[in-house]
Structure 1
């Protein structure tokens, strides 16, 4: 389960709409207690997917564009991890959008996902954020739907 506030969801939806038709991405900060992740902050980031980023992945991914892929700059991940640690928080997940596709993880999402993280995906249809779902990887590296609970 992942717990977050309505304003966190709104930040994700707004970022997704602002980057359409490209995928948006961002980092989710919070903490884990009793098998439940609690979100403290969502941080929109720039989608830095390009041919250089594609070269870091196996196979020929150079034909992929920002409308079908996302990448968060490694230096942003590292900086965010350090800042989170200073605040007694952790990176507990990543969010991204699927422009004109369902909020279901792709095979690429599965292959490059990290166990322990939540992956919030928002579907953006014709520029409007719609369905939003959270996923986590199980012990067999398969995505399982994760319950989203709104904190009031």
Structure 2
């Protein structure tokens, strides 16, 4: 996955807005290839409200906001290329809840606020996805 530095910073800013709660958002861009060998080029980030009953331990994107983000991607000729959320107390690996609720065939990024690490994973399997922060601005 290629994540421009400006969007990397925006993702962390979103995660740190309310560090006691998990943040959630969608990533739009382009996908080249398929399966675990796909390359995901992120072009835009859509922060979403977390409406989970226990936002300190889990996330649930507000459905209408997610739908608006998906429509905006379609209008910009982008695909959903990832979802992200934070773990306020770590770790930077998928939780059992993350694995159980994964429903999209895209990488899931997890921002560990405790360690300051960001990881990307194919869920529900949990395989790590290579993540490269690029200097390129989103096109």
- Flag whether TM exceeds 0.5 (same fold): yes
Q: Residue 106 of structure 1: which of 95, 115, 120 is its match?
A: 95
Matches within 5 A, 1:13-52: 13-34=12-33, 35-50=38-53
The 2-side partners of 1:46 and 1:86 are apart by 21
Q: TM-score, normalized by length of structure 1?
A: 0.81
1:1-152 correspondence runs (5 A): 2-34=1-33, 35-50=38-53, 65-125=54-114, 130-137=116-123, 141-152=124-135
The Cα of 1:115 is off from its aligned counterpart by 4.5
> How many equivalent pairs are there?
131
The answer for the alignment partner of 1:55 in structure 2 is none
Q: Give the match's secondary structure for 2:52.
A: coil
Q: Say what the alpha-carbon RMSD is for the aligned residues.
A: 1.3
What TM-score does the superposition give when structure 2 sets the normalisation length?
Answer: 0.88
Q: Distance in 1 between matches of 2:96 and 2:47?
A: 23
Structure 2: runs of 5 or more not aligned: none
Structure with greater strand percent: 1
Divergent runs of 4+, >3 A: none
Q: Quick one: distance in 2 between partners of 1:47 and 1:13?
A: 16
What runs of 5+ residues in structure 1 fail to find an aligned partner?
A: 51-64
